[in-house]
Amino acid sequence: MTTEATRTTQTNGAQVATMSGAEILARSLKQQGVDYLFGVVGFPITEFAAAAQREGIRYIGMRNEQAASYAAQAAGYLTGRPQGCTVVSGPGVVHALAGLANAKANWWPMILIGGASAVYQNGMGAFQEEQQVLIAHPFCKYAHAVEDPARIPYYVEQAIRTSLYGRPGPVYLDLPDDILQGEVPEEKIRWARVVPEPPRTTVPPESVQAALAALKQSQNPLVIVGKGMAWARAEDEVRDFIERTQLPFLATPMGKGVVPDDHPLSVAAARTTALQGADTIFLLGARLNWILHFGRPPRYRPDVRVIQLDIAAEEIGTNVPTDVALVGDGRAVMAQINAALESDPWQYPAETTWRTQLESKARENAQVSAAMMADRSMPMNYYVALQAVQDAMPKDAIIVSEGAGTMDIGRTILLNYDARTRLDAGSYGTMGVGLGFAIAASVVNSGRRIVAVEGDAAFGFSGMELETMARHKLPITTVVINNNGIGGGVSQLRGDRQPPPSVLLPGARYEKVIDAFGGRGYYVEDPDDLKAALEAANSGDGPSVVNIAIAPQARRKPQQFAWHTGRDE
């Protein structure tokens, strides 16, 4: 294989073509389906990033390694193949650990390529020397250092396969300077086979029958759709199942859109009642962790039966014993269940006490939210601001959401109509993922509108990524829901006191940051100005920022339970 980058070297008097480790790495990644690479260049990876561009990988230079590592995992989740992040040695890898940890908590694929100091300087106190494989290891499915440039394709194949197969997750490859620079005669390079799509595992027919029997016995059934089904690309099968059975369903935050949020069988508006009253839960690609209140009382009945579909056998029974285990790929198993229903149809009855209970609670909750939305006083509340964001949202937008109140309240107001159209703080509850996620969503869905709805605190973690958006002319609307603090601040700083820990600068004009990069900024205080600003921000080229000032003490409507279930509940 020869490229414009191929050089020759003299071996035993003959000229042979060579490739550098950086070039072999770039070509291996491209062969394995890595089409996007996010990073911050420097020692010793600059030449690798340039080689990646020559191979046709889109390289997005970011402003901070954390944001780059968040972007890579969102790109992996959205494309269905691990995508890449590359960072400099030492501190660069340390910063990118944040992304590995977040990817592992979400079980999303990504490959981190860390530059490293030269092997022949190991232990000498080399520039940015660090035990990178060791520190990456707890956050990865696989972490390895490459010791020979000729073997790079071998390691890349192994890393990509591990990242993608079974339950996906992050992987790490350590690339020392001398390995990246090493020249290898082309005939010595052993190219690896391309990792095929993951096998889609199915379950025994008797497990399908057991699951359907449990649903048929249930008085108060509930389907919970998690982001595992979004990853599995199971949206057609899950929709088919819901239509066939007419079962009520709820989505987890990133399971939203697998079945559209406005589907008549969604009981999202009666979430607490649905969880508390269900006698049988069909858990599809979701874990009974904090997001689902551990599946335990007081949020669930103590005798709740669980039918659990998950690709990871070790997940079966976490926190609550599972009655029927379906260990397999979400899409393949849902197709099996639909096939069984095709030959022996069954529907949950149209009129039951359970349905009536859920519908009346949903109506009651809608009235409380409507009252909050009708309050158009200034400074405005969350509900008014977020409803305006929803009203101006293109239907096919990808929504990024983070921040405490902004994300919690936004989950019910911002609607998703398709799978993988919501990215948020996720299983790790990480604040600061938003702008990296938005950039990834934009580059893998060229031209599609991305709307990142950010609390002001969450925005601050990676605000300089606005420059990345401007440089790449990405049509991203960043909405800052600004309450002057972490969980709310104050209207004015007092000159005689230090700012309290949760307070950020009152009245900060975040929209002006985008002016510095030639983008469009809008500042809104009056609810009547929201529509025009949001519509303008969502049209036109390149990035825009809408900074919406809300009341520093704006809160969520009263909840039956605290935001997460404590030990004493």
Interacting residues toward ligand ADP by CB under 6 A: 106-107, 167, 226-228, 231-232, 252, 254-255, 285-287, 289, 291, 310-312, 315, 329-330, 427
CB of 232 to ligand ADP, least distance (A): 3
CB of 338 to ligand ADP, least distance (A): 15
Q: Which residue lies nearer to ligand ADP by CB, 416 or 547?
A: 416
Distance CA 18, CA 6 (A): 6
Q: Please check whether residue 274 is in contact with residue 222, taking contact to mean a CB–CB distance below 8 angstroms.
A: yes
Q: Which residue lies nearer to ligand ADP by CB, 233 or 509?
A: 233
State the DSSP string of 405-422: HHHHHHHHHS---STT-E
Q: Which residue lies nearer to ligand ADP by CB, 228 or 436?
A: 228
CB of 302 to ligand ADP, least distance (A): 21
Q: Which residue lies nearer to ligand ADP by CB, 236 or 529?
A: 236
Residue 308, classed as helix, strand or coil, is strand
Token pair in block for residue 189: 């390079």
Q: Which residue lies nearer to ligand ADP by CB, 86 or 252?
A: 252
CB of 194 to ligand ADP, least distance (A): 20
CB of 106 to ligand ADP, least distance (A): 6
Token pair in block for residue 514: 């985008």
Q: Which residue lies nearer to ligand ADP by CB, 120 or 290?
A: 290
Nearest CA-CA partner of 91 in 138, 51, 40, 48: 40
CB of 430 to ligand ADP, least distance (A): 13
CB of 312 to ligand ADP, least distance (A): 4
Residue 392, classed as helix, strand or coil, is coil
Q: Which residue lies nearer to ligand ADP by CB, 288 or 409?
A: 288
Long-range contacts of 501-509 (CB under 8 A, 24+ apart): 504/456, 504/457, 504/460, 506/552, 507/549, 508/456, 508/482, 508/484, 508/547, 509/547
Q: Which residue lies nearer to ligand ADP by CB, 75 or 232?
A: 232
Which residue sits closest to ligand ADP, CB atoms considered? 228
CB of 112 to ligand ADP, least distance (A): 20
Residue 400, classed as helix, strand or coil, is strand
On the CB side of 371, CA atoms within 13 Å amount to 8
Q: Please check whether residue 304 is in contact with residue 246, taking contact to mean a CB–CB distance below 8 angstroms.
A: no
For 247, residues 6+ apart whose C-beta sits below 8 A from its C-beta are 215, 221, 222, 223, 241, 265, 282, 348
Backbone dihedral angles phi then psi of residue 440, each to the nearest 5 degrees: -60, -45
